[in-house]
Amino acid sequence: MNAGIDAHVHLWNRAVDPQDWIDPETMAPIARDFGAPDLSAMLDSTGLDGAVVVQSSNSLDESIRLAGLDSPAVAGLVAWVDLAAEVGPQLDRIRENAAVPVVGVRHLVHIDPDPEWMTRKEIGAGLAVLEREGLCFDLVVREWQLPQATRLAARHSGLRFVLDHLGGPPGPGQDRTTWTARLRELARQPNVVAKVSGLTSGLAPGSWRADDLAAPVMIALGHFGADRLLYGSDWPLAELGGGAAPWKSALETLLEGLSPSERARVFGGNAADVYSLS
């Protein structure tokens, strides 16, 4: 697929997939439902052709519903399955009436009650199934979990791992020393790529410029290179920071030093290859 791809978006219908983490007062811009027509409009605003939809809750039912979306805007689905259970039958249920290809799996590791979730033996067995299926595993982790993610990627060297949101770098003006060291170790695993996403959702609209985000972006580029970075808007959470279009424009500015082919890789080519989009 030689097209612009947003590697990280969410869609939800709160009547069937409650999103209890959304505070209607502090997160008013996203305290509503988002569907495929909304996604199409967002992609038009950023000049991209399609997006990878990523699960928002650890719910098989949500993944089944998302897989049924019939929209040219949806290029693939990173679903949720219980990796501690039989993975194959769960994937079969998601795929049964799917209009969208399942391209990966994600678990909300960063909020899992078990701080050692990634080290559990049964999780390793589930990840082995993903490897056999040719699927990726998206890592949504906090800074303190990056060393666990590094060990996990080393144990499963045949599985492609996709680090979401650069592992949550500290915000503008904060100390990035620990995050930088831990990201560097994770990037040394050749089976790990990273999404440049989620960097503006914690910032107030109009309070940031591209330069404020230069440090984490340049650090990630230095460790992963242009061939292992994927642009993601993290929409609709990007609305909390002013929208997907300002974020994409900021990243384009920060990556002006790359060649046209390298920029094309970041803004779609890498996502197409990593997630085997057709």
Segment 174-204, tens digit of pLDDT: 999 999 999 999 999 999 999 999 999 999 9
What percent of the chain is predicted at pLDDT more than 70? 99
CA distances, 261 to each of 7, 45, 157 (Å): 18, 22, 28
pLDDT digits (tens, 9 = 90+) for 19-30: 999 999 999 999
Mean pLDDT to the nearest integer, 52-78: 97
Length of the chain: 278
pLDDT score, position 278: 75
Report d(CA 131, CA 115) in Å as an integer: 24
Q: Has residue 67 got a pLDDT over 90?
A: yes
- The answer to whether residues 139 and 163 touch, using CB atoms and an 8 Å cutoff, is yes
Report d(CA 82, CA 183) in Å as an integer: 27
pLDDT score, position 23: 96
Q: How does residue 2 score in pLDDT terms, banded at 50, 70 and 90?
A: low
pLDDT score, position 1: 45
pLDDT score, position 251: 98
pLDDT digits (tens, 9 = 90+) for 127-169: 999 999 999 999 999 999 999 999 999 999 999 999 999 999 9
Q: How does residue 90 score in pLDDT terms, banded at 50, 70 and 90?
A: very high
Mean pLDDT to the nearest integer, 220-245: 98
Report d(CA 235, CA 244) in Å as an integer: 6
- The answer to whether residues 223 and 196 touch, using CB atoms and an 8 Å cutoff, is no
pLDDT score, position 203: 94
Using omega within 30 degrees of 0 as the cis cutoff, is the peptide bond preceding 236 cis?
yes
Q: How many CB atoms lie within 10 A of CB 246?
A: 19
* 2 against 29, higher pLDDT: 29
Closest CA to 162 of 132, 131, 194: 194
Report d(CA 106, CA 78) in Å as an integer: 6
pLDDT digits (tens, 9 = 90+) for 142-152: 999 999 999 99
- Summary mean pLDDT of the chain: 97
Mean pLDDT to the nearest integer, 108-125: 96
pLDDT score, position 74: 98
Q: Which residue ranges form the domains of the chain, and what is each CATH number?
A: 5-274 (3.20.20.140)
pLDDT score, position 181: 98
Q: Has residue 70 got a pLDDT over 70?
A: yes
Q: Has residue 109 got a pLDDT over 50?
A: yes
Report DSSP letters for 56-70, one per residue: SSS-HHHHHHHHT--
What percent of the chain is predicted at pLDDT more than 90? 98
